[in-house]
């Protein structure tokens, strides 16, 4: 309960902090300033990105001998996104568990794939950040510099804490490896080693992808879909309709940093990053940047809840059918 309760409390507190001075009148004004045709249309490239993520995940599983139906993989991905709105990062485990039940893919293998995806997503986010810095260097570098470097550079306390964590991590890893080697023939260690081996195979499966150019194209199109989805809302919102083209890229980058915060669905953190970023970088009025952040996040969250919920119910129905078939075909004893 604590693992669920703390992120919820933190998300609510952060959301309240960001919107504490945002009145109902300002919210109504923001809602009336939106182009709802574009807002609804923005969900199309978002859904396409999720579908492409399913295709990319299937490519990672193929070298390991697994080819689940794309419908099951897409439904698992959407169910995972919905779970992330309840418990941060729980969706990654859930979608792997779902795939194990529906397509008999070992959880540790698909989880290794998910870890590989996360590494690739970090690389793509890093590349987009560099691109954003190139096209909006003066504005974005000043914002990121003030946000990240304030009071951190030259802090002896911060440096000591960081090095303590690094040193402690090395000690823990060394101790764990020593235990594994000492009891290497124990049944539990053998099972654990098998789990870690399959997890590693899933993680490095990207090196065995048959069509690497297509795999990279999927990765680019996934983030292009995110860009288009954000851009349609940004330019369909009258207070930000005249911002430069690069602003949609910047919005995507700062929004992505907000979504990686350890709270449900980036609630509060996303709103803070988007509202603070647009105000600091493009001098958008605070009430307008808060309104845009609310529109973006709320529309995408509701979309995820609805589609993810439908996918989860469909998967549950499929699993029930499989269980019924297997029980009726089981030979009598």
**Does pLDDT of 174 surpass 80?**
no
Q: Is residue 193 part of a domain?
A: yes
Evaluate whether residue 23 is within a structural domain: no
Is position 263 within any domain?
yes
User: How many Cβ atoms are within 10 Å of 153's Cβ, its own excluded?
Assistant: 9
Q: Is residue 39 part of a domain?
A: yes
Residue written as token pair 């803070």: 272
Highest-confidence segment of 115-129, 168-182, 271-285: 271-285
Per-residue confidence (pLDDT) for residue 42, from 0 to 100? 95
User: Mean pLDDT over residues 213-226, rounded?
Assistant: 92
Write out the residue range of the structural domain in which residue 105 sits: 34-147+177-322
CA atoms of 13 and 104, how far apart (whole Å): 41
Q: How large is the greatest C-alpha to C-alpha distance in the chain, in angstroms?
A: 76
38's tokens: 């574009």
Span 275-291, mean pLDDT?
Answer: 90
pLDDT of residue 12: 80
- 281 lies in a domain? yes
pLDDT at 5 over 70: no
Cα gap 175→169, rounded to integer Å? 10
Split at pLDDT 50, 70, 90, the class of 13 is: confident
Would 223 be classed as within a structural domain?
yes
Q: Give the range among 35-49, 160-174, 300-314 with minimum mean pLDDT.
A: 160-174
* β-bridge mates for residue 34, sequence order: 237
Taking phi over 0 as left and psi of -120 to 50 as alpha, with beta for the rest, 267 belongs to: beta
Give ∠ CA 65-69-70 in degrees, rounded to 5: 110
Instruction: Look at the chain and report how many structural domains it folds into.
Output: 1
Whether residue 84 is contained in a domain is answered as yes
Partner residues linked to 237 by β-bridges: 34
How many other CB atoms sit within 10 Å of the CB of residue 131? 14
Task: Judge whether 83 and 264 are in contact, CB under 8 Å.
Answer: no
Decide: 126 and 108 in contact? Cβ < 8 Å.
no
Examine the pLDDT at 126 and tell me if it is beyond 50: yes
In a domain, 8, yes or no: no
CA distances (Å), origin 234, targets 23, 94, 127: 21, 32, 22
């Amino acid at each position: 309960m604590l693992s669920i309760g703390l992120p919820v409390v933190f998300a609510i507190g952060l959301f309240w902090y960001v919107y504490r001075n945002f009145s109902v009148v300002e919210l109504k004004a923001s809602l009336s300033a939106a182009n709802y045709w574009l807002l609804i249309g923005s969900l199309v490239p978002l859904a396409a990105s999720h579908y492409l993520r399913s295709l990319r995940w299937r490519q990672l599983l193929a070298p390991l001998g697994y080819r689940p139906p794309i419908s099951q993989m897409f439904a698992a991905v959407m169910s995972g996104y919905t779970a992330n709105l309840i418990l941060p990062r729980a969706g990654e485990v859930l979608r792997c568990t779902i795939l194990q039940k529906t397509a008999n893919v070992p959880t540790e293998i698909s989880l290794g794939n998910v870890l590989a995806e996360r590494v690739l997503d970090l690389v793509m986010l890093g590349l987009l950040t560099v691109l954003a810095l190139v096209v909006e260097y003066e504005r974005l570098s000043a914002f990121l510099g003030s946000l990240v470097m304030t009071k951190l550079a030259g802090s002896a306390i911060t440096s000591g804490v960081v090095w303590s964590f690094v040193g402690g991590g090395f000690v823990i890893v060394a101790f764990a490896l020593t235990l594994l080697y000492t009891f290497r023939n124990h049944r539990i260690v053998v099972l654990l080693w098998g789990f870690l081996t399959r997890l590693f195979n899933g993680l490095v499966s990207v090196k065995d992808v048959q069509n690497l150019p297509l795999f990279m194209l999927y990765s680019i199109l996934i983030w292009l879909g995110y860009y288009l989805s954000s851009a349609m809302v940004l330019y369909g919102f009258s207070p930000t309709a005249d911002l430069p083209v690069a602003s949609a890229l910047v919005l995507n980058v700062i929004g992505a940093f907000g979504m990686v915060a350890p709270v449900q669905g980036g609630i509060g953190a996303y709103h803070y990053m988007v509202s603070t970023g647009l105000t600091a970088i493009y001098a958008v009025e605070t009430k307008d940047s808060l309104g845009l952040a609310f529109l973006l996040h709320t529309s995408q969250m509701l979309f995820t809840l609805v589609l993810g919920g439908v996918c989860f119910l469909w998967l549950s129905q499929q699993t029930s059918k499989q269980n019924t078939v297997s029980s009726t075909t089981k030979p009598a004893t």
